[in-house]
Structure 1
């Protein structure tokens, strides 16, 4: 399971010119699900996402987590994060989870984040989405479990 996290001042996702999810300060999480991923891995990744220290403290050091700043989450499914790009000029997706398995784990990840009392917004799984954001920094990290 892969999470590409971006520290944002704000972000939103649209489907068919309608906003389906929108946040202010927090993290945009692009979530990729691979074949062997499990709910236990999703829990581990979520804990890492919300605890990862990417927000600045009073000394302008990245010492604060999403939990520390009471930030918001925008979670967007991102199938292409599971791509194998090691050979050739076209990505392969043999390690990606099937759409039905990926959707279950995506929805599980989102549900678990909501139980942690984060304002969690989402995209629409499998839809053609337009994501816009103001990346704060820019700060972007790829997290794997």
Structure 2
């Protein structure tokens, strides 16, 4: 089960990192569906390339963190550090599931945009599954 959770989380984070790298290099496909919008259709914010690259790097690091669980002796990382980061990632994803009480997550108020529909159907459930996966990884770390 540990291998499945690790592989699942790693592949999702790698795919998302690749998608963000695509956007950062000027790609536009799927971008409007990934940005929260007001009911009028205007996006809430327009991230710059630097911000998109930063998100891509963070997602890549999260993929590597998840993968570390499969490596011998967790790639030399102290077990307590690995467990703490697992809990931190789980908490971050859990907060993403709850949302900002306006545009994102379970508690969003704006529900009639393309992003909102995709968030309800795919983005938030995926974050929940991955958060639970990181809880499982944290519990599996032997101190």
Same fold (TM over 0.5): no
Indicate the structure (1 or 2) with the bigger Cα radius of gyration. Answer: 2
User: Of the two structures, which has the highest relative contact order with CA contacts closer than 8 Å and spacing of 6 or more?
Assistant: 1
Q: What TM-score, normalized to structure 2?
A: 0.30
Task: Report the structure, 1 or 2, having the larger strand content.
Answer: 1
